[in-house]
Every structure is written in structure tokens, then in C-alpha cells.
């Protein structure tokens, strides 16, 4: 594999993708075009998120998503925007989305890729202007190009991802992604409407002092999780929990830390979804030198069997995840 070409801060996303495509022989033009399609949709969603307070599109859309959660209008808008951009781009044959019970067949039988996405994660924070994000995974289809989409295209382990990323709609809007050759972050320059390279070759610190877990649910934690949380406090780690996975993950990626959404008595598989939340962030975490598991098994190795299957998530700085795993593996018996 050729050495990674280092490109200067301020390089546009389009140029970065083009340069990287030439650099890595595997990279077909289609994957580059797909990444561009995602970035276009992200810019439009960003505009809608920024306008949300002004154009009174806040509040409940009234519909319920497959999770039985109130669907915010922005959720629906973001979902439709990404589906439209990815369908029109022609590179994608199927889309898995948190917002849709079934997969979307894009009617592009010659599309070589499948996308799994959470179009607007953290949507319960929209009304209170807390950062929210889009999370996406990119898979190569397994069935022959031109044939109907098969289950083998949809239920792929996280190790099969050819790309993954997230967009964070915060004080600035960022796009962070990997295609398996490191992690790079781009910040949207609104006056240009361009994502510019701002965080080249991102690496998560091996150690950290931030732990992100919703202690409001502590009554529902098993003893092993309670023991781990006590260990964090004994080590004087700082508790930081925004309640928006992308925002918590991004902070930990930059500063070091661990995000935990554990198995609980009422939700043995936790809350987060394997296909369009955990796998994408796990790919990024590992590419940045971090780690991700369900407390016992590597996230990327978990076999998907249902579209919206959930899994516990321990993700972030390698040494912090390994310490958390030691408590989970010790099991419930240790007080
Ligand atoms: P809780 C948002 O709904 C989300 O999926 C993640 O973005 C966030 O980290 C988590 O759920 C928050 O869940 O149960 O702590 O409110």
C-alpha cells in the first residue's frame, strides 16, 4: 500500500478525496463520488439544522419511527435528504436507516454500495440547540451488480465496511470519516460552502480521564457496570455526558475518553444500534488507534441478524475500554 500523502490544512474535501483516490489503487471513482454525495447531503442538512429555530420546523412531526420514538420534523427532513442524494448519485443500491422500518431500495441495481445511516442522531436535543449528528457506514454489496439486493448485502459485519463517518452539527459543522486508511476531519466553511481539512490523521489518546455514561440510569445498571463507574470515580475521571452520541464520541476522540451505553436490566442489549450507530463509530475509533466492544466482543465482529438490532457500546481510548472490559468480563458477582 502506498504511503499516505499528507495534504495541507485547508485542503478541500473534493481535492482530498481525489488525491486519496489516486493514491490508493483500490479506490474506485464510485467510492469517491459516493463520499461527495454524502457531503452534499450533509451541507443541506446543516442548513436545515441551522434554520430549525427560525423556520419553526421544530417540534414533533407526529409520526413515530420504528423505535416508537416521536419523529422530529428534522429527522424526517434529514432522512429524505440523504435518501434523495444517495439515490440520485447512482452509487448506492440500498439504504438502511434508523428512520425506516425496512431498507430503501434505491432502484440503482448497478450501485455497488450499501449505506447504513442514522440521519440525525441525538434528535431529542434538537429543540434545546444541543449538537446533533449524522452517522453513516459504507459497505460494498456482496451480490452481483445488476441483480436484486440480497440479505447478504444488508447483514454484513462491521469488519466489512469500506468507509464510515459522521457529521457533527455543532458550534461548527464537521465531517469526520475513514476509508480504512486513517481518520480525517473537515470543517465546513459556510462562506465557501466547502468542507476544508482541519483535523488531518486524527488519533485518539490511548489514555483519557473522561467517562461518558448516563448515570441517571444507574439504578438499572448491573453490578459490573456499577463497579466500573465506581472505578472511574476512584480514579477521579471527569463525567461528561451530552446525551448526543456523536458529540460525546467526537469530544472523546479529540481529548481521550470512553463512551459507554451498557446493557441494563430493562434493556439487556442497551439502546444503540449496531448497523448504523455502533459499527461506524467503531471503525473510526479503531482507525484512530482506539477500541470498541460490547464489553466483551469487538463491535466490528458482532454478527448482524436484524436491521435495528441493538448492542451495548464501550468505545474510545484503548486503555480505558480495556479497563472497562475487565470489569464486564469479571461479571456481576464481584461487588
Ligand atoms: P439516554 C440519542 O437518542 C441517542 O441515540 C444517542 O445520541 C445518545 O448518546 C443516547 O441516545 C442517549 O440516550 O438513554 O442516555 O438518554
**Per-residue pLDDT tens for 311-328?**
999 999 999 999 999 999
**Per the annotation, does 277 bind a ligand?**
yes
Please check whether the two domains, 11-202 and 210-333, share a CATH topology: no
Given the CA of residue 272, which atom of ligand 1 is nearest to it? Answer: 5
Does the structure's ipTM exceed the value 0.95?
A: yes
Residue 153's H or E segment, with its range, is helix 151-154
**What confidence tens digit (pLDDT) does each residue in 60-83 have?**
666 666 777 665 588 899 999 999
The reported pLDDT for the residue numbered 67 is 74
- Nearest ligand 1 atom to alpha carbon 133: 7
Asked if residue 1 has pLDDT above 50, the reply is no
- Here the cell at position 114 is 450499501
Pocket of ligand 1 (CB under 6 A): 121-122, 124, 214, 243-245, 248, 271
The CATH architecture of the domain made up of 210-333 is: 3-Layer(aba) Sandwich (3.40)
Q: Whose CA is nearest to atom 1 of ligand 1?
A: 243
Among the four given CATH numbers 3.30.70.120, 3.30.2320.50, 3.30.540.10, 1.10.287.3510, the one describing domain 11-202: 3.30.540.10
pTM comes to: 0.93
Q: Whose CA is nearest to atom 3 of ligand 1?
A: 122
Nearest atom of ligand 1 to the alpha carbon of 214: 15
| Domain layout of the chain by residue ranges | 11-202, 210-333
pLDDT at 186: 97
C-alpha cell at 261: 451505553
Query: To which H or E segment does residue 117 belong?
Result: strand 113-121
How many angstroms is it from 155 CA to the middle of ligand 1?
Answer: 24
Closest CA to 182 of 253, 279, 288: 288
Amino acid at each position: 500500500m502506498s504511503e499516505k500523502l499528507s495534504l495541507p490544512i485547508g485542503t478541500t474535501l473534493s481535492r482530498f478525496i481525489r488525491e486519496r483516490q489516486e493514491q490508493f489503487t483500490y479506490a474506485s471513482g464510485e467510492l469517491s463520488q459516493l463520499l461527495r454525495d454524502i457531503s452534499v447531503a450533509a451541507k443541506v442538512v446543516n442548513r436545515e439544522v441551522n434554520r430549525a429555530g427560525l423556520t419553526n420546523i421544530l417540534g414533533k412531526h407526529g409520526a413515530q419511527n420504528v423505535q416508537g420514538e416521536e419523529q422530529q420534523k428534522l429527522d424526517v427532513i434529514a432522512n429524505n435528504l440523504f435518501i434523495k442524494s444517495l439515490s440520485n448519485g447512482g452509487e448506492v443500491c440500498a439504504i438502511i436507516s434508523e428512520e425506516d422500518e425496512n431498507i430503501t431500495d434505491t432502484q440503482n441495481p448497478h450501485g455497488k454500495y450499501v449505506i447504513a445511516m442514522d440521519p440525525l442522531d441525538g434528535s431529542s436535543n434538537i429543540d434545546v440547540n444541543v449538537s446533533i449528528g449524522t452517522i453513516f457506514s459504507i459497505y460494498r454489496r456482496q451480490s452481483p451488480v445488476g441483480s436484486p439486493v440480497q440479505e447478504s448485502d444488508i447483514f454484513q459485519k462491521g469488519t466489512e465496511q469500506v468507509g464510515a463517518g459522521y457529521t457533527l452539527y455543532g458550534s461548527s459543522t464537521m465531517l469526520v470519516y475513514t476509508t480504512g486508511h486513517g481518520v480525517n476531519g473537515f470543517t465546513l466553511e459556510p462562506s465557501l460552502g466547502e468542507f476544508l481539512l482541519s483535523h488531518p490523521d486524527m488519533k485518539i489518546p490511548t489514555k483519557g480521564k473522561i467517562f461518558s455514561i448516563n448515570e441517571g440510569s444507574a439504578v438499572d445498571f448491573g453490578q459490573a457496570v456499577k463497579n466500573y463507574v465506581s472505578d472511574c470515580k476512584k480514579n477521579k475521571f471527569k463525567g461528561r455526558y451530552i446525551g448526543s452520541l456523536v458529540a460525546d464520541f467526537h469530544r472523546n476522540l479529540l481529548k481521550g475518553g470512553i463512551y459507554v451505553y451498557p446493557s441494563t436490566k430493562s434493556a439487556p442489549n442497551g439502546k444503540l444500534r449496531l448497523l448504523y450507530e455502533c459499527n461506524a463509530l467503531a471503525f473510526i475509533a479503531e482507525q484512530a488507534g482506539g477500541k470498541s466492544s460490547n464489553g466483551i466482543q469487538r463491535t466490528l465482529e458482532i454478527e448482524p441478524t436484524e436491521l435495528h438490532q441493538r448492542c451495548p457500546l464501550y468505545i474510545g481510548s484503548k486503555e480505558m475500554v480495556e479497563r472497562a472490559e475487565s470489569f464486564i468480563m469479571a461479571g456481576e458477582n464481584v461487588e
